Amino acid sequence: MAALRVFLPLAICLLLGHQTFAKNDAPCQKSKWNNGFNTFVRRHIRAGLPTTLDQNEWENYIKNNGGCDRPTQSFLHTAELDRVKAVCTKAGGKTHKENLCISNQPFTFVTVRSQQGTCGIRSILEESKHLILACEELENQCLPVHFEGNPGNVKPQYNSKSCQDPQSRGHSPSFKMSWLLLFLLSFVAFYLF
């Protein structure tokens, strides 16, 4: 019984930690991060972006608006916000892998690479690629929470499932019982019964 008193709190802590920090295994599941969409917009869809690829303008922009700590950043114009949000819907995106969706159509965006911590710009590139975004449910809407790079210029697989807004799916996300929870329940059942 003493082992149960020691093991049970440890198992519960491990289980809660695993569930809290685990990333969703499919798009449009309940987000574990309430501020994800706002952070995504603040990082990638900012007002006042430079309209040229001039290195000095981008360096000043990043210095004045934050981001020197991020070696690679991609920026979309504010006019694209609704189209970007649509990537996480049946109409705008396909399931890519895990909680990632890929846009049905390419987007044009600017990728800035800098020396981490210095704001010194290494390269500025205007790209046209399909967006890969982590999509999660926040306040009953599936929204982007992370911009994933697409260095291989991957395109959507048209036979893949569509990304879907939770309201249009007709069901809630399934609960996956983790191996730790199963073990914990078995352990408690064995020692208590």
Q: How far apart are CA 180 and CA 135, in angstroms?
A: 26
Q: How many residues does the chain have?
A: 193
pLDDT score of 7 more than 80: no
**pTM across the whole model:** 0.75
The SS3 call for residue 56 is helix
Mean pLDDT of 17-35: 74
Strand partners, 124: 112
Strand partners, 138: 141
Q: Show the CA angle centred on residue 26, arms to residues 28 and 83, nearest 5°.
A: 45
4-8, 106-110, 116-120: least confident range: 4-8
Task: Give residue-wise pLDDT tens across range 160-170.
Answer: 999 986 655 44
The class that CATH gives domain 25-170 is alpha beta
* Cβ–Cβ under 8 Å, residues 90 and 67: no
Instruction: Give residue limits of the domains in the chain.
Output: 25-170
Per-residue confidence (pLDDT) for residue 191, from 0 to 100: 57
2-16, 39-53, 55-69: least confident range: 2-16
| Strands 72-75 vs 29-30: parallel, antiparallel or unpaired | unpaired
Give the confidence band of 22 by pLDDT, cuts at 50, 70, 90. Answer: low
Q: Show the CA angle centred on residue 14, arms to residues 11 and 18, nearest 5°.
A: 140
